[in-house]
Amino acid sequence: MKKWSLDKLYLGFEDPNYNKDLEKLDKLILEINSQEIDFSSYENKLTKLIRFMENDIKFSELIGRLYRFASLTESVESTNQQAVKMSNILRRKFTELTKVNTVFNKWLANYPDLDKDIKTNPFLEEHKFYLNEIKDNASHMLSDDLELMIARLRQTGSSAWGTLQSLLTSTLEVEYQGEVITLSEVRNLAKDPSSEVRKAAYEAELAAYKKIDKPIAAALNSIKGEVNTLSSARGFKNPLDQALYNSRMTEETLNAMQDAVKEYYDVFRLYLKRKAELLGYKNGLPFFELYAPIGSSGKRFTIEEANEYVLKNFKTFSNSLYSMAKRAFDENWVDYTPRKGKRGGAFCSNIHPIKESRIMTNFTGSFSDMITLSHELGHAYHGEVIFNESSLNSSYTMPVAETASTFCETIVNKAALKDATNDEERIFLLESSIQGYTAVVIDIMSRFIFEKNVFEGREKTVFDADELCTLMINAQKETYGEGLDSNYLHPYMWVNKPHYYSGGLSYYNFPYTFGLLFAKGLYAKYLEDKDTFVANYDNLLAATGKNKVEDVARLMNIDVTKKDFWVSSLELLKEDINLFLKLTK
């Protein structure tokens, strides 16, 4: 059992430095709030602007250390009440600056000759994108008092509804073969080697949702109603318009990507129908077989073997990627194995104040666990590059967030396929990848369609649970088509996905498709000219926090507003699907 070390942050909640930093944070919040009076005029405007920004940097660095320590501790020790308590306290401290931030943003929006002052000051020049984005954001802000009230009401509105969804799904008791198990346990059985187990788990899962579908439908209706109201009040056409704005991405780019995806529905359906045939089905693949294993791989990895395999293949890309991963392993950035109280899944947290990342996985030795490790290390590499930027220039949006992670995953996946010793192993590796492609391209599209229909419908009505199930089934039919058996779809996918239950983050779906296809397009460019690509790759990652998505892509001479780019990326996925079809003929 290998755990991460958080000592670079603090030695514990009793560490004197932790309490000192808490005191510093409270003093800094008072100082920042005292600046509100500064923004009643433009006298000494340059001095006021720089002072506020410098304090903003201090705040983000200080609360970044404190909050990351609490939240990271909580993620691996869910019963640690100190961690839970501090996470909640620090989240509330963010709202204490809501009013002064609103006042500052509006003051900046009307700042006389901002461009002129930026040009004459290196500090402001460094933060030009940040400042102009705030100026633009101000046009979507409401009055100071309203912004403060919204921040507070969300705690008992969308935030509370989201907590309800999380509580109900995490405590749901699923009756499975005479036992009571959790929702995550029954969903994990979708990957079981036995078809009988997979089907029984699917049926038990659907039956369990009936216990909680009505309150969760109320949660979904309430959150989407709140978002509709606020996005309209802020001057957006609809919540999708706001989601694209927050993603620094244009509707033209989204349409180009989705138009290309629609043209490749049939390619994915060929894969699904072949998988159905291999498993003995004639009318398409039942939903409960989407994650059924195909082929076989006897490979199991110790932690040391997984680390070694990742390092070996990262080195083929660049020394800087290799060196970062080696530091992560040598300096205990990774918390590897499952244990009681540790949350499921995997993530990477970039910690700007110490210029290091921490990675959590639930490593059990499978090939997919090793791929997950390489994926999260990609996020860490993105952090490594962006740590050279000011903390105000380090916030990148979701569409580009998956770029480095998917790229690193692709490096290791390609190497594993090359190292495979027989067709059974090649089939297993290919199908594992294609499963992921299908989820990120086809299933994500169904989720997008569902959410769009819910938002539009909530303008006129409130959906009951049965109506939401119908919307989900129709969305799945639209994307999966004849690839899935229409008698075995998943009407309750809206219940178990937390992505729908945020008042501040709508359409938490299309960025995944963007991330996969953008990274695949980058990988194709890497194969064309490795030396040139590696030299430019870090510049691209560094630019993600201070550019629009389209401008980031242009650094690699990619135009994401054109369908041609997305088609070229989808062709790479098609190559893998065609190879799978050939090997399983």
Q: What is the pLDDT of residues 423-456, one digit of tens each?
A: 899 999 999 999 999 999 999 999 999 999 999 9
Architecture of domain 303-423+511-572: Orthogonal Bundle (1.10)
pLDDT on residue 55: 97
Residue 458 identity (one-letter amino acid): R
Residue 52 identity (one-letter amino acid): F
Give the Cα separation of 195 and 285 in Å (integer).
Answer: 12
Tokens of 84: 């839970």
Where in the chain are all domains bearing CATH 1.10.1370.40? 303-423+511-572
pTM of the model: 0.89
pLDDT on residue 1: 62
**Residue position matching structure tokens 């659907």:** 206
- Angle, alpha carbons 243-245-246 (nearest 5°): 65
The closest of 369, 437, 440, 382 to 408, measured between CA atoms, is: 382
| Residue ranges in the chain modelled with pLDDT below 70 | 1, 297-298
Where in the chain are all domains bearing CATH 1.20.140.70? 16-155
**Strand 347-351 versus strand 334-335 pairing type:** unpaired
Structure confidence by residue, pLDDT tens digits, 235-284: 999 999 999 999 999 999 999 999 999 999 999 999 999 999 999 999 99
DSSP state letter for 443: I
pLDDT on residue 78: 80
pLDDT on residue 142: 87
Tokens of 225: 């109603």
- CATH topology for 16-155? Butyryl-CoA Dehydrogenase, subunit A; domain 3 (1.20.140)
Name 351's bridge partners. Answer: 356
**Strand 356-360 versus strand 334-335 pairing type:** parallel
pLDDT on residue 187: 87
